[in-house]
Structure 1
Amino acid sequence: MGLVRGTHEVFVARSDQDIEAAQALRALAFGLDVTHDRDAFDTTQHQILVRDLRNGQIVCCFRTRVFIGAQLEQSYAAQFYDLSGLSGFDGQMMELGRFCVHPDASDPDIVRMAWAALTRFVDACGIKLMFGCSSFAGRVVADYADSFALLRARHLGPAVWRPAEKASDPVRFADHARAQPDLQKAMQHMPPLLRTYLLMGGWVSDHAVVDQHMKTLHVFTGLEIDAIPENRKRLLRGLA
């Protein structure tokens, strides 16, 4: 996973200090009322960090874990979504979570480096599907009616893989989406990571979930590697 380009380095956390740096960045980037964002999944998933070599600052991080079949029940997403249908997916799956960038970082190479590292990992491990929870800031459902309408109309996942409801109070797109969404508002309010997934052919659940700890609404997001357009695959592999 180690990758150095220009003034940035991508690496796998090797120490408690590395993990704490990722946890601190997550708390800052997600606007939490704590100094470090910690949970039990930090001990079961690989922590990937991007460091600015000029000052040693961690400017981006995310975590990953590979699953197959029924192992999905051990994923972060399985807390909120019924993934029993997806457990029948034929091939290795990788969960991507807690992806964030330092709020003061503006260099586009940071995100490019992160995707380059992810591409290397996907190719090396033969991953067939990436998945995770894509977060909308805040918990005001009405703010995202246009986005939910667009997701419902164009980006729902295949019925065979699509997660069923598990959370006690799911936010069903059918109940909250506008009949005629404003496409500009829909894309403007779409999380950047989710926009990236959708551009590559990603799909979502038919409902969102309120995450009280992260103070967000999130949707389950899947990306089948074979469905990524060939031009985008070439671009990603060029970065790697």
Structure 2
Amino acid sequence: MGCKISALTGTLGRIGSLEVRLARNPAEIRAAQKIRYRIFYDELGARPGLQHINRYDSDRFDPLCDHLLVLDHELGGPDHQRIVATYRLLRQDMAQAAGGFYSEGEFELNRLTARHPQQRFLELGRSCVLPEYRSRRSIEALWQGIWAYLNHYNIDVMVGCASFSGTDPSAHAEALTYLAHHCRASHEWDVRAVAGRYQPMKLIPIEAVTAKTAIAAMPPLVKAYLRVGARVGNGCVIDHDFATVDIFIVMPVKEIAARYISYYGGTNQPCATA
């Protein structure tokens, strides 16, 4: 397996026994891919292809990505056995080598990048946290790492897909309707689902939506994105391979809520080292 090992090798954040950093070798990348398989295929019911033989999730984008890891140093064994969460990071310059971003298979991200040729884009994807680590502490560790990465590479805009389970948007009608009415990106940053895959998000009258229940019904990752100021695109897409309903997330760094910039980017955070 070809893989890209980042020159950004230092610790990007730490909370208690949890350390966040980038993968440093092929063994750590493969361990992250096995966690992805465990979550996407075993737990969430994605449709396996050739990955089923070796039980790891990978695609043509993996060799071009940096793989953000959370390790629990209270666990024994070598570092690749301590990985409890992972995120895939694809910078725009690397995406060009693949002919575009992963998200472009579902959303018109290429039109957004064309409207902002001076901005540096980063795609977030393949977010996975082991069940026993699905806590605020793990999410905060991941965001420490993402923030350090943004600063190191001078990223201007974060984008990516976020998923609801299943392939029936109506099962998430209240949450999707709330997002479509209250969390849409401005015209400057809006992205539409690709033609032929577009599914509406406004599924019930807004008068029938209760904010508290709509937000409670959202996946933790979507709520985490909203907390830092993310906005959503136009329409959702059914991903039959992963058995999900996907929405598009866009986060211009300059619009991220100031309290999160202070929290994750403060001088008390461990510095990234090249």
Kept in 2: contact 1:148–1:177 (CA 8 A)? no
Aligned equivalents of 2:211 and 2:172: distance in 1?
12
Identity of aligned residues (%): 26
State the one-letter code of the partner of 2:82.
Q
1:212 to 2:240 alignment: yes
**SS across alignment from 1:51:** strand
Equivalent of residue 71 in structure 2, options 29, 32, 51: 51
Post-superposition Cα deviations, 1:197-221, rounded to whole Å, max 9, x if no partner, equal 2222211112111112211111110
Aligned equivalents of 2:102 and 2:128: distance in 1?
16
Kept in 1: contact 2:181–2:206 (CA 8 A)? no
Deviates most, 180-189 or 93-102: 180-189
Superposed, which structure 2 residues align to 1:76-155 within 5 Å?
76-87=102-113, 88-89=115-116, 90-106=118-134, 108-155=136-183
How many residue pairs match? The answer is 238
Equivalent of residue 62 in structure 2, options 31, 34, 42: 42
Question: Which segments of 5 or more consecutive residues in structure 2 lack a partner in the other structure?
Answer: 1-7, 76-80, 270-274
The structural deviation recorded for 1:106 is 4.5
Aligned equivalents of 1:159 and 1:177: distance in 2?
23
The structural deviation recorded for 1:73 is 5.4
Post-superposition Cα deviations, 1:99-131, rounded to whole Å, max 9, x if no partner, equal 111012255432222111111111121111111
**SS across alignment from 1:127:** coil
Aligned equivalents of 1:140 and 1:156: distance in 2?
21
Aligned equivalents of 1:85 and 1:42: distance in 2?
23
Kept in 2: contact 1:25–1:102 (CA 8 A)? yes
Equivalent of residue 206 in structure 2, options 170, 179, 193: 179
Structure 1 or 2: larger strand share?
1
**SS across alignment from 1:104:** helix
Kept in 2: contact 1:85–1:160 (CA 8 A)? no
Aligned equivalents of 1:103 and 1:94: distance in 2?
26
Aligned residue number for residue 88 of structure 2: 63
State the one-letter code of the partner of 2:24.
R
The structural deviation recorded for 1:22 is 0.7
TM-score (norm 1): 0.90
TM-score (norm 2): 0.79
Aligned equivalents of 1:212 and 1:157: distance in 2?
26
Deviates most, 177-186 or 146-155: 177-186
Aligned equivalents of 1:108 and 1:66: distance in 2?
26
Aligned residue number for residue 26 of structure 1: 36
> Higher relative contact order by CA 8 Å / sep ≥ 6: 1 or 2?
2
Q: In angstroms, what is the RMSD of aligned CA positions? A: 2.2
Question: Which segments of 5 or more consecutive residues in structure 1 lack a partner in the other structure?
Answer: none
Kept in 2: contact 1:85–1:161 (CA 8 A)? no
Aligned residue number for residue 78 of structure 2: none
The structural deviation recorded for 1:167 is 5.2
Aligned residue number for residue 17 of structure 1: 27
The structural deviation recorded for 1:183 is 1.8
Aligned equivalents of 1:116 and 1:51: distance in 2?
13
**SS across alignment from 1:206:** coil
